[in-house]
Amino acid sequence: MSLDFDVFVVGPKPIPSAVPGFEEAVGPATWPPSTSTLISDDEGALLVDCLITLREGRELAEWVRSHDVEPDHVYITHPHADHFLGLPEILTAFPRARPVALADSVPAMREQISPGYLKVWGGFFPGALTGEPVAPGPLAGTTIPVGAATATVIPVGTTDTGHSSVVHVPELSLVVSSDVVYNRTHMWLAGSTPESRADWARALDTVAALAADTLIAGHRDPSAPDDDARRQLDESRRYLADFETALARSSAPAELIDRLTAAYPDLANPYTLWVAAHDLLGTGA
């Protein structure tokens, strides 16, 4: 088997809505669709990110097993628990796999699995999460072997959270971007600032400079037309710019929601937009 990759995609998951009027206007609130990526050859494999619920972790493990490979490493791209609470299920299935992340991101990942944060995550997914969460250990350096090939980890700074990174596999002209790039899905901008949004735009430039053909977004609409890197980068840049403009022109959440919905009527997970609007502009109508 030559070096190759495959992507495991889960669709949006229902969650309780904390935004007034969303369910009446749109429907049930959902967590955005998510991905995990397997990169492998005859000699080894790397799994990038591993989802959130117990069920997803088990289904992901079975999917990996169906490829007749055993991951040597599981790399976690950034400190959002929806990308690594599934890790215990992966390690149960593949006990020799080593979970790693950039050293600077590990403290934030440990914070994500502290009792206070787990209570918050459990509120989104009651009864569906592990009771024994695991944080990855620090990666020594910025490269991970994938059999005879090498994946390079590239820190990109702040995107929808700090300490974000991407995985670059030049032999495949592939970038696994996780939350740095979104594929036909509303970008998570709750809690953002003008400075963090500018940082995110610079992170997109860093990824673009890699000139990969294929990019796997951490949040990808299952019906997205492809994984073309240039399209996704251009669309993510445009979304950030349009969000900035619409935010400056809006004085209430509904105005921002209306402007972005008109510009992007078909993006997955509109609840993400509503959360950002209410977070940044208050709860007034």
Sheet containing strand 164-169, edge to edge, reads 143-146, 149-157, 164-169, 174-183, 214-220
Give pTM, 2 decimals. 0.96
Q: How many domains does the chain have?
A: 1
Helix ranges restricted to H, 42-101: 54-65, 87-93
> Encoding tokens for residue 262?
């008109």
What is the model's pLDDT at position 163? 96
* Strand-pair category, 164-169 with 174-183: antiparallel
Q: What is the DSSP letter of 57?
A: H
> Encoding tokens for residue 117?
């944060």
Q: How does pLDDT run across 105-131, given as a tens digit for each residue? A: 999 999 999 999 999 999 999 999 999
What is the model's pLDDT at position 146? 97
* Structural domain span for residue 259: 4-281
Biggest alpha carbon–alpha carbon distance for the chain: 57
CA 172, 178, 181, 183 torsion-angle sign: positive
- CATH code for position 253: 3.60.15.10
**Cβ-contact 63, 250 below 8 angstroms:** no
Instruction: In whole angstroms, give the CA distance from residue 122 to residue 276.
Output: 21
Other Cβ atoms less than 10 A from the Cβ of 256: the count is: 24
What is the model's pLDDT at position 285? 43
What is the model's pLDDT at position 1? 66
Instruction: In whole angstroms, give the CA distance from residue 102 to residue 141.
Output: 8
Radius of gyration in angstroms for the set of CA atoms belonging to the chain, rounded to a whole number: 18
What is the model's pLDDT at position 221? 97
Closest CA to 187 of 177, 179, 195: 179
Q: Give the torsion through C-alpha atoms of 20, 22, 28, 30, to 10 deg.
A: -90
**Cβ-contact 277, 188 below 8 angstroms:** no
Task: Average pLDDT across each block of 10 residues of the chain; the chain has 285 residues. List them in order.
Answer: 94 95 97 98 96 98 97 97 98 98 97 96 97 97 95 98 97 97 98 98 98 98 97 98 98 98 98 98 67
- Rounded to the nearest integer, the mean pLDDT of the chain is 96
